[in-house]
Amino acid sequence: MKVEPTKLPGVLLITPRVFADDRGWFLETWRRERYIEHGIGPDFVQANASHSSQGVLRGLHYQWPEPQGKLVWVSAGRVADIAVDIRPSSPTFKQWTRVDLDADHHQQLWIPEGFAHGFQVLSERATFNYLCTRPYRADADAAIAWNDPDIGIDWPLPPAGLSDKDRRAPRLADLDRDRLPS
């Protein structure tokens, strides 16, 4: 597997080895010791998947005080995946990175604790998968406005299918810093 840094320290793009022949292909989506060698982990405790149609925007989500690290990939379709550094003490605070993930290239993105995460579906439909380092907790669920001008994400499509949570999410500047990771 190939592991490449993004413009945000700690956020990594992973390209697994794909073994293909006339029958199709095979790849490992997770092998603990290989990922641990690159600082990805610790172990994952929850696996999730979502399926959405074109333009659907989900995010920017995070958990506090129990932040999650996420290993994400697309098993069908294509998405624009976004990670935002929301650690006030970080030199890259409020900066974001975008990686387009699709089922044809099998790439994954590692988003460590301390980052908000969101994605937008670029294809007609997409299935998005993620492994989490901590379980989802409704009382720790949090979001930041997907269109926060202080962050300035350049989403590729007009948003469609926003949830009530995402429509009501506050700007980063309106959050108490005690509700952000350090």
Catalytic positions, please? 61, 130
Q: What is the residue whose two structure tokens read 């009501």? A: 168
Which two structure tokens, joined as six digits, stand for 170? 């506050």
Q: What is the residue whose two structure tokens read 């989802």? A: 136
Which two structure tokens, joined as six digits, stand for 55? 């333009």
- The CB-side HSE value for 23 (13 A sphere, CA atoms) comes to 4
What is the rounded CA–CA span in Å between residue 2 and residue 50? Answer: 26
What is the rounded CA–CA span in Å between residue 16 and residue 28? Answer: 7
- In one-letter notation, the amino acid at residue 52 is S
- In one-letter notation, the amino acid at residue 118 is G
| Burial status of residue 135 (CB atoms within 10 A of its CB: 0-12, 13-18, 19 or more) | exposed
